[in-house]
């Protein structure tokens, strides 16, 4: 609902980027901004949880290997919140990322190193699918 209001007001949709590696974070933030979304970086799982609850992003891009709280710990804590409905796109070099992504209900799991064009396509389609499911859900 909040994202629909942002859209009507002409505001950019927010994408939380949870990535501790500075080079990867810069690449993701740049690609997300180039698509017209507002990237919001977070460096670790604890910072990401506080930020996600404050800004209610349209999507979350999540690395699994993070300091403070892992991506998996972040996702579990995030899903425990009543207003937590942003789809999660996992980007990880972790060998069992697909299994973890499925366990945390990720909308997509992409391996590192990233194919940035594939990442952008997946993020865009994930956000579109999320909007469609929100419009179809009964009020």
For the stretch 30-76, pLDDT in tens is: 999 999 999 999 999 999 999 999 999 999 999 999 998 899 999 99
**With a threshold of 0.75, does the pTM exceed it?**
yes
Residues 6 or more apart whose Cβ sits within 8 Å of residue 68: 44, 45, 46, 47
In sign, the C-alpha dihedral spanning 120, 125, 130, 134 is positive
* Phi, psi (rounded to 5 degrees) for 50: -60, -45
Of 99, 35, 45, which Cα lies nearest the Cα of 68?
Answer: 45
Candidates 3.30.1330.10, 1.10.3720.10, 3.40.50.2300, 3.40.50.300; CATH matching 15-126: 3.40.50.2300
Sheet holding 59-62, edge to edge: 38-42, 14-18, 59-62, 88-92, 108-111
Using a 10 angstrom Cβ sphere, with 0-12 exposed, 13-18 middle and 19 or more buried, the burial of residue 55 is: middle
Residues in the chain: 139
pLDDT of residue 83: 77
């Amino acid at each position: 609902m909040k994202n629909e209001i942002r859209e009507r007001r002409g505001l950019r949709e927010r994408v939380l980027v949870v990535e501790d590696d500075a080079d990867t974070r810069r690449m993701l933030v740049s690609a997300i901004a180039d698509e017209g979304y507002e990237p919001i970086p977070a460096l670790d799982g604890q910072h990401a949880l506080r930020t996600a609850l404050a800004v209610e992003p349209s999507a979350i891009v999540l690395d699994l290997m993070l300091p403070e709280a892992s991506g998996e710990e972040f996702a579990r804590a995030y899903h425990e919140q009543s207003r937590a409905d942003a789809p999660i796109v996992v980007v990880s070099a972790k060998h069992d990322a697909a299994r973890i992504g499925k366990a945390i209900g990720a909308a997509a799991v992409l391996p590192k190193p990233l194919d940035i064009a594939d990442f952008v396509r997946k993020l865009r389609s994930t956000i579109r699918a999320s909007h469609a499911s929100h419009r179809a859900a009964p009020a």
